[in-house]
Amino acid sequence: MNTDAILLYRPIFSTSGGQQIVYGITRHDALLMAYNSFTASLTPKIPELAGGPAASGWLKTSYWNRSQVDALIPDANNALQICILRQTSTPYASVYDGYDQVFLKNTTGSTLTNVAISIGGGTPQLISGSGGTDGVLANGQVWTVTIPAGTSVVGLVLPQVQPANQIIPATQTAQFTVRTASGGGHTYQWYRDGVALTDNATYSGVNTPTLTISNCHNSEEGSYTCRVYDGGLGSTLLGTGTLIVSDPAFLTNPQSQTVDPLTDVTFSVTAAGTVNTIRWLMNGAPISNGTLPHGTIVSGADTLTLTLTGARENDEGNYVCELTGPDGTVLSTAAILTVNNPPVISVHPLSVNIPVGGSTVLSVQLSSGTPNFDYVWVKELSGGGEELLRVISKSSTSDSMNIPLSGGGAQLSDTGRYRVKIKNSASTAMNQTGDPANDWVVSNWATVTVYEPLTVITQPSSQSANYGDTVTFTCTVGGSLTGLQFEWLDASNQVVTSVNPRASVNNAGPTSTLTITNVQNTDEPAGWPSQGYRCRISNAYQSGGNAIYTQRVNLTVQDPAIITHPANQTANLGGTATFSVVAVGSANTYAWYKEGSGTVLGTNATLTLTGISESDAGLYYCTVTGPDGSVESNRATLSISDPYIVGHPTSVTADPGDTVNFSVVIGSLSTKPIGYQWRKDGVNLTVPGASGTLDVSNPSWTVTLTLAGISQSDEGSYDCVLNGVSGQVFSNAATLTIRRPPTVSGIQVNPSTGIAPLGSNASLKVIVTGGTPPFTYQWTKNGLPITDPNISGLNTDTLIFTGVIQNNEGTYRCVVSNSAGSAQAERLFIAGSLVTFAVQPQSKKAYYGENTSFSVVVTGGKGTKTYRWKKNRSGVITVVGSNSTTLSLTDLRSTDAASYWCEVTDERGVYSSNIATLALADHLQITESLPSATTVPSRGTTTLTLRYSGGHSPVTVMWQRDGQPLKTVTGQLIPNGSQLVFTNPSESESGTYTAVVFDAHTDLISQSCNVTVVSNLPALNLLGLALAVLAFSIAGFAYVRYRSVRVR
């Protein structure tokens, strides 16, 4: 209302008597009424609203009746509060005739949202109107509305029932609340699915703003509403809150964990409701109790507490507990298990070479592992053990260490092996040995080698050589020799030995030598001195671009060059003299001269002079010309020999006892007298005629040495020395060889057995081990000439059989001869095959009075075969059968128990079979069989007995029940028998029992015995069948043997 209206129509207040009473009536609906959205009608406007007069809205901080409102709604209540000034209220009544005024005040200490009001039981609506934001009521703020008198009112905070929906684990407590404004004198009634509730063991607070539901079960599920009564004016139904009860349900969930390996891990849940089954899942897969393949022990997989004993990396994952109950299956939240990983080295410290004064860094890199890590760097000590160098703890997955540690330059003492040890809590936990040294993950050793740099101590030097000579270049180095390598390079930096096949390199420690043989002009380095030979030197530490080089050197090749000069010659008058020069060069020409004459005598490397006369004596030389010019040889002297030899002695091969002659023919122009001396192996001979003189009275020019009746001691080298005008002249040497008779070691046969199958090829070869060739060979068979048409090589060292026939068999002899004597060897040659026993007689066991036999089957042999059987009893050997492959023995007696064998005779000899033994015994028989039936008490001991006689040892007894062998039993021994003992048997051991008695020759089965186990007293020990006894008649030993039973 405006100012004029207020002045004209305002009510009059009286405060007499301590009361505030309105006097007077004012009415002007057009000005004082406004549309009210809460009542859908016109209601009085309220003055002093923050946004101006209206039917509803937020009051200003100061308004005309604030004191009354504050008195009714104190700030200390800490709630959303309501008060209603009605027509008849005391001490304060509504100032609006026919209308009540409603006040909502926020004294909670904070701003409220979703503040609503229900008028006349209608649906709650957010407060709205003049001066504020719908539904929002700040702390201390008052909202008001006018309503028809006597209308019910409920103020509240939406939603109507809180919470609107809730899911509660079974057996737990649920609550629903209506946040109605206090101070309105309201009463409450809660409903489930429209049915009014009363307080009992399950429900409490059914007549309060908060309903509590204890020990929830599925029966408490439903929709909950609350009816709020405003005195006798009416009520408002608030709702709905929905309750869902989870049965079963988790009260607590498993918690994620991070642990070290081999730690015991426990995941636990608490549950409510009816739990039918429990199981744990890992990564969605069920877990079972027991030991996992990787070693972790699982327990409690079907309980609320899961335990992993000794957890490992394989156990990492999401763990969920699954419960089943009336509502089906419910899963807990996932708990993540993280197992700390031990450090894993992906990059190990690397070995490195550094020069003296250098430095390096050793590094390690981990590919996995859970921080933090302890890094310990060590150096290996020469006497064993390690030196601790660096210790650091850090979260980083890498670490490094400087070499040298002290800084500066590395010294030779820094050489050694280094490594790093790394651990964390996981590696420590995984160490189950009790030895702390095993906590560590250890890197590979890194070898740090500090080396002395290479230096050239001795440089190679340039060389000058004749064409075809051998030259060497040598260098020596200092520094580290480890992995030392030398590469000699030519002027083009090519490896010399790769491009020059005449080049080789010899390395000896720090020294290397390049050798070039048969040097040629092409070996000279082009571009000298800027280019030449040099050596590239490297070692394990300096290679590639770090290698060092020697200085470059030159090679000068002389072309031509004389290697061998002509030698002085002494020639016979009328004879021949030869001068030779050996020169090297790429294109040599030769010219021979006699000193004092310019006449060219020859143009080859050799000069030959024939028909020597005295005028030919003198000095001779050769001029060799090539690319580098000419060179002259040394001078060589030609002298005339007197005497001279025109015929030298010749070598002789003779037999012992022969007479041999050696002769020298002297040139007839020689001057007599001429002395002579024969020598053997350079020693003067003293035999007659070994020395003498040819004088002028002797017309002969021949000197002869005669050796009569020669022997091995005369073998040797013979020559003759002549003495004449020119001095001594030596003849050529001649050799005397004495023939030796042959020696043989035997005859080699193919096939090596000396037995050749008929139709096959074979050979005999005589082995000659000594003697002087040539030899002659003569083969015979059985002392006679060989006439077999399929044999060849009768006069060679090898006798060949083509398609062996029976007639080839015999003793062959080969006589080997030469002029000095003969030797011979013999060998038996078998055509066909020897007697072979394809089937040998077999040892046997039999009973007295029975019949038996021994047999053989024979293959091979030559001619007719005869058979003879022999017997050995107690050392007495007798013949028991002839001309048969089978020996039959009838009505066996004790004297037949013996050893037997068969002898087979053919044209080649006698052959014996293996020895077979015949063992005899009485017939096996059952002397005491089982009863046809027996009753066995379930309490006590009962025995079934079987006895036998005879049989071959061992005799075996096998017990059966219902045709099946009794297994896994022990025995009770009796002589020549067996006992089956029942101790406290159960009724299930009733059945038909038999015993099978057998030896190596016979099986017998006993009479069947029907055993019935009857109950007498309560059994204390129903272990069933205690013993099944199997006895040997001789050794008295019992054992069980399982086999099928054959009745004889």
Per 3-state DSSP, the chain is made up of helix, strand and coil in percentages (nearest 5) of: 5, 50, 45
Report the pLDDT value the prediction gives residue 643, as an integer from 0 to 100: 87
Tell me the one-letter amino acid at 796: T
Written as one string, the DSSP assignment of 751-819 is STTSEE-TT--EEEEEEEEE-PSP-EEEEEETTEE---TTEE-TTSSEEEESS--GGG-EEEEEEEEET
The answer on 125 and 3 residing in a single domain is yes
Distance between first and last Cα of the chain = 137
Residue 6 has pLDDT above 50, yes or no: no
Least confident of 230-244, 682-696, 810-824: 230-244
Average pLDDT over residues 320-329: 94
Residue 405 domain flag: yes
Residue 946 has pLDDT above 60, yes or no: yes
Report the pLDDT value the prediction gives residue 16, as an integer from 0 to 100: 52
Adjacency order of strands within the sheet including 165-169: 165-169, 235-246, 222-230, 186-192, 195-196
The answer on 274 and 227 residing in a single domain is no
The answer on 954 and 913 residing in a single domain is no
Residue 749's domain comprises: 743-831
Average pLDDT over residues 8-33: 57
Confidence band, pLDDT 50/70/90 cuts, at residue 26: low
Written as one string, the DSSP assignment of 803-848 is S--GGG-EEEEEEEEETTEEEEEEEEEEES---EEEE----EEEET
Confidence band, pLDDT 50/70/90 cuts, at residue 1037: very low
Q: Are 241 and 165 in contact (CB under 8 A)?
A: yes
Percent of the chain surpassing pLDDT 90:
72
Confidence band, pLDDT 50/70/90 cuts, at residue 384: confident
Residue 610 has pLDDT above 70, yes or no: yes
The answer on 792 and 773 residing in a single domain is yes
Average pLDDT over residues 270-288: 94
Average pLDDT over residues 568-572: 85
Burial readout 228-267 (b: 16 or more C-beta within 10 A, e: otherwise): bbbeebbbbbbbbbbbbbbbbbbeebbeebebbbbbebeb
Confidence band, pLDDT 50/70/90 cuts, at residue 11: low
Residue 325 domain flag: yes
Provide the token pair at 62: 């100061």
Report the pLDDT value the prediction gives residue 18, as an integer from 0 to 100: 53
Residue 1033 domain flag: no
Residue 291 has pLDDT above 80, yes or no: yes
Q: Specify the 3-state DSSP secondary structure of 861.
A: coil
Residue 77 domain flag: yes
Report the pLDDT value the prediction gives residue 1035, as an integer from 0 to 100: 31
The answer on 100 and 28 residing in a single domain is yes
Report the pLDDT value the prediction gives residue 972, as an integer from 0 to 100: 61
Report the pLDDT value the prediction gives residue 9, as an integer from 0 to 100: 43
Report the pLDDT value the prediction gives residue 3, as an integer from 0 to 100: 42
Residue 631 has pLDDT above 50, yes or no: yes
pLDDT tens string 130-183? 999 999 999 999 999 999 999 999 999 998 888 889 999 999 999 999 999 998
Least confident of 26-40, 240-254, 724-738: 26-40
Residue 341 has pLDDT above 90, yes or no: yes
Tell me the C-alpha distance between 671 and 1003, whole Å.
122
Q: For the full predicted model, state whether its pTM sits above 0.85.
A: no
**Domain end call among 224, 246, 268:** 246
Q: Are 992 and 962 in contact (CB under 8 A)?
A: yes
pLDDT tens string 719-753? 999 999 888 888 899 999 999 999 999 999 999 98
Confidence band, pLDDT 50/70/90 cuts, at residue 1036: very low
pLDDT tens string 893-945? 999 999 999 999 998 889 999 999 999 999 999 999 999 999 999 898 999 99
Average pLDDT over residues 87-100: 82
Instruction: Give the single-character DSSP code of 927.
Output: E
Residue 1031 has pLDDT above 50, yes or no: no
The answer on 709 and 599 residing in a single domain is no
Residue 1037 domain flag: no
**Domain end call among 450, 471, 500:** 450
Count of domains in the chain? 10
The answer on 21 and 147 residing in a single domain is yes
Q: What is the mean pLDDT of the chain?
A: 89
Report the pLDDT value the prediction gives residue 419, as an integer from 0 to 100: 97
Nearest to 984 by CA among 1018, 1009, 950: 1018
The answer on 808 and 936 residing in a single domain is no
Residue 711 has pLDDT above 70, yes or no: yes
The answer on 352 and 275 residing in a single domain is no
Tell me the one-letter amino acid at 821: G
The answer on 942 and 1006 residing in a single domain is yes
Tell me the one-letter amino acid at 973: L
pLDDT tens string 216-229? 999 999 999 999 99
Average pLDDT over residues 889-893: 93
Tell me the C-alpha distance between 13 and 4, whole Å.
18
Tell me the C-alpha distance between 124 and 228, whole Å.
12
Average pLDDT over residues 647-656: 92
Tell me the C-alpha distance between 660 and 585, whole Å.
50
**Domain end call among 289, 309, 339:** 339
Residue 1043 domain flag: no
The answer on 22 and 132 residing in a single domain is yes
The answer on 816 and 848 residing in a single domain is no
Residue 896 domain flag: yes
Residue 804 has pLDDT above 70, yes or no: yes
Tell me the C-alpha distance between 520 and 628, whole Å.
12
Tell me the C-alpha distance between 264 and 308, whole Å.
6
Higher per-residue confidence, 677 vs 1018: 677
Residue 296 has pLDDT above 60, yes or no: yes
Question: How far from 61 is each of 48, 54, 141, CA to CA, in Å?
Answer: 9, 16, 8
Residue 1036 domain flag: no
CATH code for the domain of 574: 2.60.40.10
Report the pLDDT value the prediction gives residue 970, as an integer from 0 to 100: 43
Report the pLDDT value the prediction gives residue 1034, as an integer from 0 to 100: 30
